[in-house]
């Protein structure tokens, strides 16, 4: 269920043994949180001179846990998206950086040496130069693997704490995480009718699924994601977000209750009355399927095709191949789909024609491109207005 969490690099405290888990799966992180709740484990950390052991999430592994766990003395929250990994290591506060599945930059060894970090691969798909510690996740052994990560962390702390001068940005941001399909509907009054009513009244003009990575190929870190989300909120458009774009919006403060102040009056009124932010933090980049369940539920309720709804999808700073697949899925689903940067398919004229022209006659929608947040918002709003007019609302 939705709950308040803390994000950004300011959550790191150099006086603790800090275990950070990174990747796409929550299993090792959750096992480490459970292991670190053992008072004996905390006592071992204090004997080494630390104030205790803390476990912190990075990118999707962290977001998976953030959606389901409250923060407490052991679980500290989420540091940010994948472009935050190197700045995180450079804070000089990380004792173990445990990497699963994908989206760990391949050349972290120099950071480990300079900032006193023990890098550990916890998934057999992750192997990188200069990283020799492998504790590949095994479901039946994960409790022991978690204790080994904590042991490595305590050993690392003794050396790191005396050698490395920490540099931790002060900024810490509150966000509301945990908006599953069921939680979104509950927050909107518990019935699909409630969502339909606020859409009909125009208080929420439409809904956009923002599922994203982050990249600096078209501008600054998270510039497009945050700029587009602000523009949409200012036009009474509610956002349901997943992936590194979701982490960006959490860190930027748009997934907080205070962000309602920046939304336009209809959406602001809904946020205040229901106690929800204008950006609903839904999960990770692999949660697109779950977002589509929400869209399907609304379409079925109205007796309409998904392509008829005032709904759109954007991946405004995508990077990874999964985002391209998510985009194609949204197109097949009949949803207006904005992508930035332009996918590397322009060498295939037939494919370009299919995506940007012909697809509209097949599934109901085609790709929209563009690297400017205001123009992208204009296109999305125009689409939503057309769908509203066709539905007579």
Integer Cα distance of 50 and 118 in angstroms: 17
Q: Which stretch binds ligand SF4 (CB under 6 A): 93-101, 315-323, 328-336, 355-363?
A: 315-323
Q: How far is the CB of 319 from ligand SF4 (least distance, A)?
A: 5
CB neighbourhood size of 47 (10 A)? 9
Q: Which is nearer to ligand SF4, 157 or 318 (CB)?
A: 318
Among 26, 62, 209, 243, which residue interacts with ligand SF4 (rule: CB under 6 A)?
243
Q: Which is nearer to ligand SF4, 95 or 287 (CB)?
A: 287
Closest CA to 19 of 36, 7, 5, 43: 36
Footprint (CB under 6 A) of ligand SF4, residues 330-369? none
Among 11, 65, 213, 238, which residue interacts with ligand SF4 (rule: CB under 6 A)?
213
Among 203, 322, 365, 383, which residue interacts with ligand SF4 (rule: CB under 6 A)?
322
Cis peptide before 341 (omega within 30 of 0): yes
Closest CA to 245 of 2, 9, 25, 63: 63
- Cα torsion 225, 110, 155, 160 to 10°: value is -80
Among 195, 280, 285, 368, which residue interacts with ligand SF4 (rule: CB under 6 A)?
285
Q: Which stretch binds ligand SF4 (CB under 6 A): 30-38, 193-201, 317-325, 369-377?
A: 317-325
Q: Which is nearer to ligand SF4, 268 or 338 (CB)?
A: 338
Structure token pair of residue 8: 């950004």
Integer Cα distance of 237 and 218 in angstroms: 24
What ranges make up the beta strands (E) of 218-299? 237-243, 279-283
Integer Cα distance of 125 and 102 in angstroms: 8
Tell me how far apart the terminal alpha carbons of the chain are, to the nearest angstrom. 31
DSSP state at residue 10 = G
CB neighbourhood size of 165 (10 A)? 7
Q: Which stretch binds ligand SF4 (CB under 6 A): 86-94, 126-134, 314-322, 366-374?
A: 314-322
59 binds ligand SF4 (CB under 6 A): yes
Among 88, 94, 103, 248, which residue interacts with ligand SF4 (rule: CB under 6 A)?
103
Q: Which is nearer to ligand SF4, 213 or 311 (CB)?
A: 213
Among 244, 263, 330, 339, which residue interacts with ligand SF4 (rule: CB under 6 A)?
244
Among 82, 115, 137, 282, which residue interacts with ligand SF4 (rule: CB under 6 A)?
82
Q: Which is nearer to ligand SF4, 16 or 97 (CB)?
A: 97
Do residues 254 and 277 touch, judged by C-beta distance below 8 A? yes
DSSP state at residue 17 = E
Structure token pair of residue 327: 């985009």
Q: How far is the CB of 286 from ligand SF4 (least distance, A)?
A: 7
Binding site for ligand SF4 (CB under 6 A): 59-60, 81-82, 103, 213, 243-244, 285, 319-320, 322-323
């Amino acid at each position: 269920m939705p709950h308040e969490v803390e994000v950004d690099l300011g959550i790191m405290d150099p006086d603790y043994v800090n275990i950070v888990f990174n990747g796409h799966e929550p299993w090792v992180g959750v096992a480490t949180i459970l292991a670190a709740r053992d008072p004996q484990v905390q006592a071992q950390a204090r004997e080494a001179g630390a104030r205790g052991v803390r476990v912190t999430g990075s990118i999707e592994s962290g977001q998976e846990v953030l959606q389901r766990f409250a923060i407490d003395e052991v679980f500290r929250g989420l540091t940010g998206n994948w472009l935050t990994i190197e700045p995180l290591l450079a804070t000089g506060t990380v004792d173990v950086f445990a990497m699963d599945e994908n989206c760990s930059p391949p050349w972290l060894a120099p950071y480990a040496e300079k900032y006193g970090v023990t890098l550990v691969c916890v998934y057999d798909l992750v192997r990188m130069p200069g990283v020799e510690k492998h504790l590949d996740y095994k479901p039946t052994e994960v409790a022991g693997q978690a204790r080994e990560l904590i042991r490595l962390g305590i050993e690392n702390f003794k050396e790191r704490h005396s050698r490395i001068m920490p540099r931790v940005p002060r900024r810490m941001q509150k966000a509301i995480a945990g908006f599953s399909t069921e939680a979104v509907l509950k927050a909107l009054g518990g019935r699909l009718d409630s969502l339909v009513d606020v859409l009909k009244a125009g208080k929420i003009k439409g809904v956009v699924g923002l599922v994203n990575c982050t990249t600096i190929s078209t501008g600054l870190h998270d510039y497009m994601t945050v700029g587009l989300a602000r523009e949409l909120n200012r036009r009474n458009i509610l956002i349901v977000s997943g992936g590194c774009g979701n982490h960006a919006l959490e860190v930027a403060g748009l997934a907080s209750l205070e962000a309602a102040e920046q939304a336009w009056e209809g959406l602001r009124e809904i946020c205040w009355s229901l106690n929800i932010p204008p950006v609903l933090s839904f999960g990770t980049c692999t949660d697109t399927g779950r977002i589509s369940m929400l869209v399907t539920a609304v379409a079925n309720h109205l007796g309409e095709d998904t392509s008829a709804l005032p709904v759109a999808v954007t991946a405004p700073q995508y990077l990874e191949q999964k985002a391209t697949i998510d985009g194609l899925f949204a197109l097949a689903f009949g949803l207006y789909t904005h992508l930035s940067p332009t996918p590397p398919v322009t060498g295939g004229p037939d494919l370009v024609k299919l995506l940007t022209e012909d697809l509209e006659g097949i599934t109901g929608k085609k790709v929209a491109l563009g690297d400017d947040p205001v123009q992208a918002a204009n296109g999305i709003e125009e689409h939503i207005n057309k769908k509203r007019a066709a539905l007579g609302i």
